[in-house]
Amino acid sequence: MKCRLFLKWHAAGATAGSENPVRLGEWVEVRVSRTGRLASLEVEDGPAQEILAPGAFTQLSLPLNLYLGGAPSSDMYSPKMKTTASFVGCIQTIVLNNREVGILAEALGGVNVGNCGHACEARPCGDAECRPLRERFTCRCRPGVPHPCPAPDDYTPLVPPPAKSNAVTSVRYERAVPSFTGSESYLHYNDADTMKRIISYRVDINMRFRASSSSGLLLWSGRQSDPQEQRDENDDFLALGLDHGYLTLAYNLGSGEAVLRYNITRLDDDLWHRIRAVRNEQWASLVVDSGTGVSASSPGQLRQLNTDTGLYVGGAPDIVRTTGGRYAKGIVGCISDLVLDSDFSVALSSPAQATNTHSCIP
pLDDT in tens, the chain (362 residues): 778 788 777 655 677 777 778 888 888 999 998 888 888 888 888 888 888 878 777 777 778 888 888 888 888 888 777 777 888 888 988 998 888 888 877 777 777 777 777 777 666 776 677 878 888 878 877 655 444 454 434 434 433 333 333 332 233 334 468 999 999 999 999 999 999 999 999 999 999 999 999 999 999 999 987 666 666 677 899 999 999 999 999 999 999 999 999 999 999 999 999 999 999 999 999 999 878 899 999 998 999 999 999 999 999 999 999 999 999 999 999 999 899 988 888 989 889 999 999 988 76
Rounded to whole angstroms, the Cα distance separating 4 from 1 reads 11
Using a 10 angstrom Cβ sphere, with 0-12 exposed, 13-18 middle and 19 or more buried, the burial of residue 121 is: middle
CA 343, 346, 351 angle in degrees (round to 5)? 160
Contacts of 246 (CB under 8 A, 6+ apart): 261, 262, 263, 266, 267
Q: Which fold has domain 178-359?
A: Jelly Rolls (2.60.120)
Rounded to whole angstroms, the Cα distance separating 355 from 332 reads 14
For residue 243, what are the β-bridge partners?
246
Rounded to whole angstroms, the Cα distance separating 111 from 275 reads 19
Give which of 33, 37, 41 is closest to 54, Cα–Cα. Answer: 37
E-strand spans in 212-307? 216-221, 237-243, 246-252, 257-262, 273-280, 283-288, 294-297
Give which of 133, 128, 132, 118 is closest to 150, Cα–Cα. Answer: 128
Considering the chain, tell me which residue range(s) the CATH 2.60.120.200 domain(s) occupy.
178-359
pLDDT tens, 274-313?
999 999 999 999 999 878 899 999 998 999 999 999 999 9
Give which of 261, 247, 260 is closest to 218, Cα–Cα. Answer: 247
The answer to whether the bond into 160 is cis (omega within 30° of 0) is yes
Give which of 349, 243, 330, 350 is closest to 286, Cα–Cα. Answer: 243
CA 118, 120, 123 angle in degrees (round to 5)? 140
Give which of 179, 178, 107 is closest to 349, Cα–Cα. Answer: 178
CA 98, 117, 312 angle in degrees (round to 5)? 95
Q: What share of the chain is helix, strand, coil (3-state, %, to 5)?
A: 5, 35, 60
For residue 14, what are the β-bridge partners?
9
Q: How many C-beta neighbours within 10 Å does residue 67 have? A: 12
For residue 139, what are the β-bridge partners?
130
Strands 178-181 and 129-133: unpaired
CA 181, 194, 160 angle in degrees (round to 5)? 150
Rounded to whole angstroms, the Cα distance separating 126 from 134 reads 20
The DSSP H or E segment spanning 320 is: helix 319-322
Rounded to whole angstroms, the Cα distance separating 105 from 254 reads 29
